[in-house]
């Protein structure tokens, strides 16, 4: 399965996506997010991609371990940052989630949702996640977009209440290459547009895919919890939370409950 299906992909990708200056495939590696750094070139004239068939030290948000056995999609796309502020980069994390949900719809006809800021869910279970980091190398800043999607990989028993895979959802083994291609293409196109447009044109699109709009949600910011009605997003991709007739914006944290 998987390994032979993916092994030649990086060479194809460089032809198919001329904006990729480097594409590396590993059968097994620690973490694509950690490993991509070594391939970042001095001349930042394109993106760098690292795909792993499996990861031994997959990194999730908030320092969590990300289970990444063979059969899933685990990659990091490094994009050279030009002129975007940290707030704009934060908003792009929501856009990246939108592009993953758009790709799931396009390739598998799946109506996935976004649990702010960038969990990908199907029927309330996590099917994918995105990790964003920034790094500077050779005086150039890069945005590292780590994408993890459960496709054919097994879901460990202790995660089966909260996570699912595309194979489980669709009831059979699924090809991965078209989905990887779709996600890469969509993220790159948004990245090139986003520099000009900002988050504005994406706001309604993301809101239409957001889990919990109009519902009471509980959100954790570090150790601090708050709750309120999820009203939507602001123009920077922050979450608008209404409680006691006041609406506040949440820029960091994660939704831990939708009631
Ligand atoms: C999350 O916690 O929801 C984010 C998970 C991100 C996982 C991906 S898999 C590819 C890339 N490499 C990593 O080590 N993590 C990200």
Query: Which ligand 1 atom is at minimum distance from the Cα of 72?
Result: 9
Query: Which ligand 1 atom is at minimum distance from the Cα of 129?
Result: 3
pLDDT in tens, 192-244: 999 999 999 999 999 999 999 999 999 998 889 999 999 999 999 999 999 98
Percent of the chain's residues with pLDDT above 70: 97
- 1, pLDDT greater than 60: no
pLDDT in tens, 232-248: 999 999 999 999 889 99
Q: How far is the CA of 74 from the centre of ligand 1 (A)?
A: 7
CB 73 within 8 A of CB 148: yes
In the structure, which protein residues have their CB atom closer than 6 angstroms to any atom of ligand 1?
A: 31-33, 55, 58-61, 64, 66, 68, 74-76, 119, 129-131, 146-148
Residue from 105, 211, 210, 120 nearest 165 by CA: 120
Contacts of 33 (CB under 8 A, 6+ apart): 59, 76, 131, 133, 144, 146
Q: How far is the CA of 149 from the centre of ligand 1 (A)?
A: 9
CB 19 within 8 A of CB 188: yes
- pLDDT the model gives residue 13: 86
Q: How far is the CA of 162 from the centre of ligand 1 (A)?
A: 16
In eight-state DSSP terms, residue 39 is G
| pTM of the full structure | 0.95
Q: How many angstroms separate the CA atoms of 66 and 59, rounded? A: 5
Domains of the chain: 2-206 (3.30.930.10), 212-258 (2.30.30.100)
Residue closest via CA to ligand 1's atom 16 equals: 146
């Amino acid at each position: 399965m998987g390994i032979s299906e993916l092994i030649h992909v990086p060479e194809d990708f460089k032809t198919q996506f001329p904006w990729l200056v480097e594409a590396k495939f590993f059968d097994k590696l620690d973490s694509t997010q950690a490993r991509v750094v070594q391939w970042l070139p001095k001349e930042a004239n394109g993106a760098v991609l690292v795909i792993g068939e499996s990861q031994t030290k997959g990194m999730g948000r908030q320092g969590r371990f990300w289970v990444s056995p063979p059969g899933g999609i685990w990659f990091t796309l490094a994009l050279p940052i030009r002129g975007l502020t940290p707030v704009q980069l934060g908003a792009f994390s929501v856009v990246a989630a939108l592009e993953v949900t758009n790709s799931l719809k396009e390739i598998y006809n799946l109506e996935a949702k976004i649990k702010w800021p960038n969990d990908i869910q199907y029927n309330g279970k996590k099917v994918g996640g995105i990790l964003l980091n920034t790094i500077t190398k050779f005086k150039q800043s890069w945005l590292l977009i780590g994408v993890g999607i459960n496709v054919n990989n097994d879901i460990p028993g202790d995660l089966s209440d909260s996570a699912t895979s595309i194979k489980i959802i669709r009831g059979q083994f699924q090809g991965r290459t078209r989905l990887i291609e779709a996600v890469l293409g969509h993220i790159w196109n948004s990245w090139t547009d986003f520099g000009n447009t900002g988050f504005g044109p994406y706001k309604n699109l993301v809101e239409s895919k957001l889990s919990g709009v109009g519902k009471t949600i509980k959100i954790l910011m570090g150790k601090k919890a708050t709750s309120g009605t999820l009203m939507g997003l602001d123009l920077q991709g922050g979450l608008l939370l209404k409680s006691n007739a006041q609406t506040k914006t949440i820029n960091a944290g994660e939704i831990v409950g939708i009631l």
